[in-house]
Amino acid sequence: MIKTIPVTVREFDLAQVLMNGLKTLDRWQDRAAQRRRLGEMDSYILADIGISPAQAKAEARKPFWWY
C-alpha cells in the first residue's frame, strides 16, 4: 500500500515560492560572475566576440539584478 503525504495548497505555494527564490539567486550569481569575467577580458578577446571595451565596461558595471 502506497502512503501519501497530505500537502495543503498553502504548503505547496510556499515550496514554489522558495524554489523560485533559489532559482533567482542562482541566476543573479551566474550573471554577476559573467559580468565579472567580461570586465576582465582583454580588448582582443572582446573584439573577437564583437564587443567594444566600452560596452564590456558598461555591462560589467551593471548590478547583478539588472538584465
User: What are the boundaries of each domain within the chain?
Assistant: 31-67
**Predicted confidence (pLDDT) at residue 63 exceeds the cutoff of 70:** yes
Q: How far apart are CA 64 and CA 62, in angstroms?
A: 6
Q: How far apart are CA 51 and CA 57, in angstroms?
A: 10
pLDDT digits (tens, 9 = 90+) for 18-33: 999 999 999 999 999 9
- Give the pLDDT score at 13: 82
Q: How far apart are CA 35 and CA 63, in angstroms?
A: 9
Query: Which residues, other chains included, contact 41 with Cβ-Cβ below 8 Å and sequence gap of 6+?
Result: 56
For the entire predicted model, the pTM comes to 0.72
- Give the pLDDT score at 21: 95
- Give the pLDDT score at 11: 63
